[in-house]
Amino acid sequence: MTKTIEELIPDYLRGLPVYVPGKPIEEVERELGIHAVKLASNENPLGPSPKAMEAARAALGESHRYPDGGTHALRKTLAELRGVTPEELFVALGSSELIDLASRVLLRQGLEGITSEGSYAPFSIAIRASGAKLVLVPQRDFAFDLQAIAKVITPRTGVIYLANPNNPTGTAFTGAEFREFVERVPDGVLVVLDEAYIHYATSVGLKDSVEVYRRRKNLLILRTFSKVYGLAGLRIGYAIGRPELLSAMNKLKTPFNTSGVAQAAALAALDDKEHVKRCIETNAAERKRLCEGLAKLGLRPVPSATNFVFIPVGPEAREISDDLLHLGVIVRPLGWMGFPEAIRISIGTAEENEKCLSALAQVLMKRTGKGELATR
């Protein structure tokens, strides 16, 4: 009997959830006919560095050529910056491609991948897509429970995914906690440490993980240009790891993964330290203001080390997000990420945050009659 195409798709792929991105501004404006602000995907509201834009424009003229598939210039600069060799660097289509490649290289049916409940969904998707068993460890106080994770490591464990700080809860573990954890992980298990939001976390040193990597080589550190560097639309990020692992990942990546425009913009963005500083400072000031405004509305956001805040709002979280959408504020309901009673709001510009707070006050007024939520 001949098989259908559907039957060729393995069971572990058929059951996979689809990654749900934040709603694009254009879609909301088209559907609702209103002006909207997007605070749903943890993007940089100040945009790319002007230097990065200039470099991208210049690189556009070479778009008839394939880009440098080996990303030599970018890896050389990153190597100097991070204190590693170019062979320990791998450039990819954002951290997303790196998350996927790590599982594709190291996991398969019969093995296990570990991550936390309430963390970045692509970790679980990458583990399950490899055919390996997904082991999800509950959080403690909305944060990675590193001790509990260390306890579920078995001889079948291949990869552990951690995000520091974590998305969507915004919490971070310290360098000391991480060092202690890594000591408990056997050499034959890879720890993938996703540091997409690390620039916003003053509690964690920017160099902490590279110092750990120098001593324990079973670490893959992921960084992205999508957040503090403001290049989410260009799709570029990088990993620091053992050359043997990176060369296996290199065999599986699509040829010419990152464009020449993205590589040029990333190089220039690294050089614009002023812009990075301004983005970090603006985020910290706006995060404080937004959290104070939320507290006045009776809300209790989880203290955030990132460019977003996680807010438990109760069983009407989905409805509250929908109401905000109709007032032109796109936030993220978190049901599909395992938090049906919470929403996530990305930190915007002062103007965007003001609009968000006043829309939220209106929504709470409608739902509670008081303009605020009872203290929870």
Ligand X SMILES: Cc1ncc(COP(=O)(O)O)c(C=O)c1O
* Chain centroid offset of residue 149 CA: 20
Residue 96 in the binding site for ligand X (CB under 6 A):
yes
DSSP string, 192-228: EEE-TTGGG-TTS-TTHHHHHHHH--SEEEEEESSST
Lay out the site mask for ligand X across 25-44 (x = CB under 6 A, - = otherwise). Answer: -----------------x--
The residues in 202-261 that bind ligand X, with binding defined as CB under 6 A, are: 224, 226, 232, 237
Residue 94 in the binding site for ligand X (CB under 6 A):
yes
CB-wise, 240 or 297, nearer to ligand X?
240
CB-wise, 210 or 232, nearer to ligand X?
232
CB-wise, 196 or 279, nearer to ligand X?
196
Q: Are 360 and 335 in contact (CB under 8 A)?
A: no
Closest separation in Å from C-beta 8 to ligand X: 29
CB-wise, 125 or 363, nearer to ligand X?
125
CB-wise, 297 or 330, nearer to ligand X?
330
Site size for ligand X (CB under 6 A): 13
Q: Residue 65 corresponds to which amino acid? A: R
Among 56, 88, 120, 200, binds ligand X (CB under 6 A): 120
* Chain centroid offset of residue 140 CA: 20
The residues in 311-350 that bind ligand X, with binding defined as CB under 6 A, are: none
Closest CA to 361 of 314, 283, 289, 295: 295
40, 43, 45, 50: CA torsion to nearest 10: -160
Q: How far apart are CA 307 and CA 305, in angstroms?
A: 7
CB-wise, 166 or 373, nearer to ligand X?
166
Among 95, 103, 115, 283, binds ligand X (CB under 6 A): 95
Could you tell me which stretch among 47-55, 93-101, 171-179, 356-364 binds ligand X (CB under 6 A)? 93-101
Q: Residue 106 corresponds to which amino acid? A: L
Residue 45 in the binding site for ligand X (CB under 6 A):
no
Among 192, 196, 212, 320, binds ligand X (CB under 6 A): 196
Print burial letters for 110-121: b (CB count within 10 Å at least 16), e (below 16).
ebbbbbbebbbb
CB-wise, 342 or 364, nearer to ligand X?
342
195, 196, 200, 205: CA torsion to nearest 10: 20
Q: How far apart are CA 307 and CA 351, in angstroms?
A: 16
Lay out the site mask for ligand X across 134-173 (x = CB under 6 A, - = otherwise). Answer: -----------------------------x---x------
Of all residues in the shown chain, the one whose CB is closest to ligand X is: 94
Could you tell me which stretch among 88-96, 128-136, 257-265, 291-299 binds ligand X (CB under 6 A)? 88-96
Q: Residue 45 corresponds to which amino acid? A: P
Residue 49 in the binding site for ligand X (CB under 6 A):
no
CB-wise, 42 or 304, nearer to ligand X?
42
CB-wise, 167 or 218, nearer to ligand X?
167
Q: What is the CA radius of gyration of the chain?
A: 21
Beta-carbon contacts of 68 under 8 Å, excluding residues fewer than 6 positions away, are 260, 263
Q: How far apart are CA 252 and CA 288, in angstroms?
A: 43
In sign, the C-alpha dihedral spanning 22, 27, 33, 35 is positive
Q: Say if residue 312 is preceded by a cis peptide, omega within 30 of 0.
A: no
Binding site for ligand X (CB under 6 A): 42, 94-96, 120, 163, 167, 194, 196, 224, 226, 232, 237
